[in-house]
Amino acid sequence: MNLIPFPFPHHSDVTEAEYHDLLNGFKRPPDDEESAGLLELESQSIEKETQHTLPPQMNTIKYTGPVGTMSCDCGTSVSEARARGCKYDTLAASWLPDACRDDQLSADFDNAGPNGTWTYFANKEATTVLTIEQVAALPDSGLNCFWITQQWHLAHCTFYWKKLWRQRQIKVVIEHHYDCLGHIEHCERMLLKSGSLGDRVTEAAVGLSGDYLQLGPSGGCPSDQATIEEKDEGHHYDHSGNNMRIIA
């Protein structure tokens, strides 16, 4: 007997004939006009209720495609990002528009660090501490580079997996830079590395767009500050392999 999985969780397998009978039952039209009218009213009621239960901001966002295809670009400077209504997101280490942020998840990420906070450094030696405000302003500085522990980096990976899951509940747009297999594979390599990573530091750069990477004079640490291995471990690693924007 040919068995196929039932397409809903917690149900046993059914025969192929039973499965198609069930599908035909879903598609079967109402037997009379009264039933058809009731179905139409119920559909309208559900649609109206759904509209009222959506978060207020979701009623004002016009998506031009499936979730994840909306641009998360905030321009080429901090001032332009602010003018566009973007805010700095610590989880993404990037300026993002409202539609691309999960503020509750980012707050949880901030509290997940040692003693409920993460420390950001201006140098590889981890001797100069930066505030979040200073980190957020780095794209407008002469050197868009900061350093964090590998513990931060790994937490960033796992929290972005949470963001991918929460996308279905709150309809947040995942930046193209992270909505790709390359980011998952990059995180996988970091998680599988042996040894204690908590005391090590890795480089990062603040982004102004979730659609591409900004590399160049203001797009990361100087080459003499990071080895090739460190750049692979770094948060600004090119996860997709082809979405870089070179800034001259």
What pLDDT is recorded for position 176? 87
The long-range contacts involving 198-202, CB below 8 angstroms and separated by at least 24 positions, are 198/149, 198/150, 198/151, 199/149, 200/149, 200/150, 201/121, 201/124, 201/126, 201/147, 201/148, 201/149, 201/150, 202/147, 202/148, 202/149, 202/150, 202/153, 202/230, 202/233, 202/234, 202/235
What pLDDT is recorded for position 200? 61
Domain ranges for the chain:
69-211
Q: pTM of the full predicted structure?
A: 0.57
What pLDDT is recorded for position 62? 32
In a structure prediction context, what are the per-residue pLDDT tens digits for the chain, which is 248 residues long? 222 222 223 333 334 444 344 334 333 444 455 444 444 444 444 333 333 333 333 332 333 334 436 889 999 999 999 999 999 999 999 999 999 999 999 999 999 999 999 999 999 999 999 999 999 999 999 889 999 998 999 999 999 999 999 998 898 999 988 888 998 898 998 888 855 555 566 677 777 766 655 444 444 565 544 444 544 455 544 443 333 332 32
What pLDDT is recorded for position 100? 96
